[in-house]
Amino acid sequence: MSATNPHPANSEAAIRRALFAFGADGVEVDIQLTSDGKIVLYHDHRLESSTNGFGAIGELKMEDVVTASYKGALDASRDYPVISLQHLFDILDEAQRVVKVSLNLQPQSDALDQPALFQKRAEQLMAEITSDVTSRHVIIIESPEPEQMIALKMAAAGRDDIPLYFTAEATDQNIAFAVDHQLQGLVSNYLKCTPQMRQRMDNANLQWSLYGLKIHSDVREALNFQPDAVQTDDIPFTLRMLDR
């Protein structure tokens, strides 16, 4: 939340404002898996970190998770419930245009995730993102965990309608990982970018998305790297910088 983004991240109000009020090309949201295999939009693995709910999302059913509401919002008079991935898809359809959505698959716990969990999450995520949805919108999956990316690639076998992006800096090692596993791109923090990285990404034929853009100077500096996409808090200013 900020002066330009007064609603909690991943909330329906924030998504609607970005897509409908300011006409953004798309949104980036964080996702977690519930105990019954459903997907909800939330960053952390425990509800009490940002909502009035309690418990680990991985141990709760979706019907319990979506009863929680974000706390500490600038507007205390309205409710900001946690929403499901399917609810996000319904909002996208209201836009009546092709919308790009980046689903950032967050770690499930503080401890190292187990390989079986990576596979389970990948399979359940692919089941939620049907070809019916990808025929109407562009759905990208991101993850900062290499093992999760490998599991996603395996679960996506035979499906070329869901681009996979590795959330990491554009170092030689990470670029090699993306190329070796036939991923479509990287998502990097613009503060750690260098001009040499732009050249490496071009040579590897990978898409490059930058995040961490919160204020005007962030937008100006990030656009200097000529990314293929940016994740920004200030949509109107970013659009102006892109001459749109």
Partner 1 sequence: MVKRTFAPEVKIIRSIVLWCGLLSAGFSADDASAQYAVQTETSLTYAGLGTSLGVGYKFDHIRIFSGMNYLYSNNLNKGGWSTTIDYKPDSSSGKVFIRTDFFSYQNAQQNQLRITQGYAGYGHIIRIKKHWEINSGIGIGGYRERLVKGAPEYTSNGMSYCISLGFSYWQ
Q: Does 76 bind partner 1 (CB under 8 A)?
A: yes
Q: Does 22 bind partner 1 (CB under 8 A)?
A: yes
Element (H, E) at 93: helix 85-94
Q: Which DSSP letter does residue 219 get?
A: H
Count of positions on this chain that bind partner 1 (CB under 8 A): 37
Q: Does 181 bind partner 1 (CB under 8 A)?
A: no
What are 62's two structure tokens?
A: 């979706």
**Greatest C-alpha distance within the chain:** 51
Tokens 């009490």 label which residue?
48
Q: Does 198 bind partner 1 (CB under 8 A)?
A: no
206 touches 185 (CB < 8 A): yes
Of positions 68, 82, 193, 229, contacts partner 1 by CB under 8 A: 193
Smaller CB separation from partner 1, 2 or 49? 2
Half-sphere exposure of 79 (CA within 13 A, CB side): 8
Nearest to 85 by CA among 138, 135, 23, 42: 42
Of positions 36, 72, 74, 159, contacts partner 1 by CB under 8 A: 74
Smaller CB separation from partner 1, 61 or 240? 240
Where do contacts with partner 1 occur on this chain (CB under 8 A)? 3-4, 6, 13, 16-17, 20-25, 74-78, 94-97, 190-191, 193-194, 215-218, 221, 234-237, 239-240, 244
